[in-house]
A and B are shown apart, each in its own frame.
Chain A
């Protein structure tokens, strides 16, 4: 009992710290927003679950088709539940590969309690997070099902089944994830290139999503999961519900399965934790760095130096070198691509390039050019900012170096991408040529605007990009202002050059304005032209401001 008490105590400390972290008003609006979102989601889940359960209970009790679709089938419900279980288990495995695979302050815990108790504490904490998210919706669903079907059993069976499934997801997923983490940590190559590997995994996952591979995988896994013991949770969940042909044996099996796998998962997890938590991590940089064989080798630096001078060359190659070795922060250069995931999936599957895509490519290229190295140049220097400020680097050199570092990479790639898409799309040749010529110009303007915004609103503290990895990202204000600039410029360009966009804009503005007010097309056109003029002037102003900002910058 004392062992259990220790584990519960450790879990309580973990959950308390997490709760305080997410409810600390002093840390900014994101905690408040996060808390509000959590409450809303759980509330919606609970009420929604209640409604869903009620409708389901009514249909089941009356022997009708479920939601007008078809007769309820326990095996199908089992397959669906089992697939959800699999997804949740993968989530917990991924958490164990990341930040949750190591204890907070391990020296203080592992020198006091046995490894098994510490691991059980992690399990209890992870299960607590399951409860915090699903208990409300589970109770809602159970209560609704009970009310709808007219029997009380679902009030108990639904939460028990869902929480039991959550418990096994934790006790099976966590040791699997911890094992993967341990295997990966034994290879110095993995430790050294963790950032690059993570980016590749992320891009691979995104590609799988876009091409529908993930959907196909889910379909392929349905039958095997349906045949697995995880599907028995459906029998437990609907135990005693009229209209459901469940199996008491399978329901009992689900309970037994939960108990057996909780114990087995704890024993297995203890074994893995006993090895992993006490093993020496592979040291990053244990092998001497191959100085001349990667981006920004001394040869490249000398060539740049001969053209641009040593200080500019040093800053440019520094940016490249750091980006290659720690590419995680560059993921936000792909934000627009992520937001277009659905469109990309359709394009890949249809094999046709729509006419709007080259235009979108120009905007994406402008985004990438503006965020890579110029949206937080001061913050990116980190503790080494003092070295830059106390050197012979002046504002002009600092700003030029960051602009060139980004544009030298982004302009060729962005222009090529636009050219390929323009040629493959059904747009006219003249339009395609104009787009290709405009792309580098737009990218330069975008980068010039972003450097001023980034210098004005720097961020120095690192934020979690994944649960286990922090990096310094641009500030919210920098993101917002830069995004607003791109959006307004893109919209104004569309209004000026494309009649269909102009008509759409007129309709949207008229809809948004109160009292039935509208905007004439000509007026909107003139406003858009004015905005385009401003969009060209702003980057020049921003660029000059960035130079002055560096020259006058102080730490406090």
Chain B
């Protein structure tokens, strides 16, 4: 364990994926995804709706089995769920909450599932509740929470056991600017403490601010990858210098590429 309680990663890479592919029947959700993410990196995972981001996260967290390919989290293959669990924390887009519980009860439950001793769990929970301005609402049922409060509660649940690799699916969606700032500060703090953050979001400003590396997923394939600065420099036709311009450019280009490739394939088969 490192000084801040985060489990150390023995492997060179926090997240590795080779040829990771997932089919749902005839639909290819993720195709041949290769990733190598070093420990302590904030990796921003961008992509249009339906591009395969959530499916990728589910595969990396062992919640979905890939059709082919392999991946490792902190050196542990994703076929070994028990091994991966020791290193990973996951916040899905819909926070994994029980409406009938209060936030405090839910977080104590999560702490117990991760074998965090009671007193230590209570201390961590109190700290995080305070930090996310949830202390006053902590003993009210989650069913009465706003979207932002639910998201924050879910996030605390994902980091309570101090994982070395944290996968966050849209962590700032539904949050007001102050809460979003708190989450961004937390992400930056965790990354400084060698936690690897794999962050999927539509909000380009979050990625621009926090990410060390950005990967753009389109139709299940990684179509661009690099630091935000490098990607902006690659923006074609000089149409702009923001990450949004890059995103729109690469996803538009590849949409055209795929459209023409499909058209060619259809012509060949005739």
Interface residues of A (CB under 8 A from B): 192, 283-289, 291, 298, 302, 305, 310-311, 313-315, 318, 321-322, 325-326, 382-394, 551, 554-556
Contact = CB atoms under 8 A, between A and B. Distances in A.
Contacts of A311: 112-113, 115
Nearest to B112: A314
Interface in B189-225: none
Interface string B83-118: 001001110101111111110110011101111001
Interface residues of B, number: 39
Given A289-B102, A390-B85, A554-B63, A314 B141 contact: no
Given A289-B140, A313-B112, A390 B61 contact: yes
Contact of B144 (A285, A388, A391, A392): A285
Contacts of A310: 112, 115, 118
A556 B24 CA distance: 9
Interface in B51-74: 58, 61-65
B139 A386 contact: no
B141 A289 contact: yes
The secondary structure that dominates the A interface is: helix
B157 interface: yes
A390 B165 CA distance: 13
A310 B116 CA distance: 9
B266 to A, nearest CB: 29
Contact of A284 (B110, B115, B143): B143
A35 B139 CA distance: 46
B139 A318 contact: no
A104 B82 CA distance: 45
B115 A392 contact: yes
Interface of B: 24, 58, 61-65, 81-82, 85, 88-90, 92, 94-102, 104-105, 108-110, 112-115, 118, 139-141, 143-144, 157
22 contacts: A283-B144, A284-B143, A289-B105, A289-B141, A291-B105, A302-B118, A311-B115, A314-B108, A318-B98, A321-B100, A321-B101, A383-B92, A383-B95, A383-B96, A383-B97, A386-B90, A387-B110, A389-B62, A390-B62, A391-B85, A391-B110, A556-B58
Residue of B64, B97, B98, B118 with most partner-chain A CB within 10 A: B98
A391 B97 contact: no
Contact of A390 (B88, B100, B141): B88
Nearest to A305: B112
Contacts of A305: 112
B40 to A, nearest CB: 21
Given A289-B102, A322-B98, 4 more contacts: A384-B98, A389-B62, A390-B63, A556-B24
Given A318-B109, A386-B63, A286 B96 contact: no
B102 A387 contact: no
A387 B90 CA distance: 8
Given A311-B115, A391-B113, A554 B62 contact: yes
A305 B63 CA distance: 28
Contact of A389 (B63, B65, B104): B63
Given A390-B63, A554-B64, A285 B141 contact: yes
A392 B98 contact: no
B100 A291 contact: no
Contacts of A388: 113
Contacts of B100: 321-322, 325-326
Nearest to A326: B100
Nearest to A195: B100
B67 to A, nearest CB: 11
Contact of B64 (A390, A391, A555): A555
B103 to A, nearest CB: 10
A383 B94 contact: yes
B112 A288 contact: no
Residue of B82, B104, B112, B157 with most partner-chain A CB within 10 A: B112
Contacts of B102: 285, 289, 291
B52 to A, nearest CB: 13
A285 B96 contact: no
Nearest to B24: A556
Contacts of B97: 383-384
Contact of B90 (A286, A318, A321, A390): A390
The 3 closest A-B pairs by CB, nearest first: A314-B112, A391-B113, A285-B141
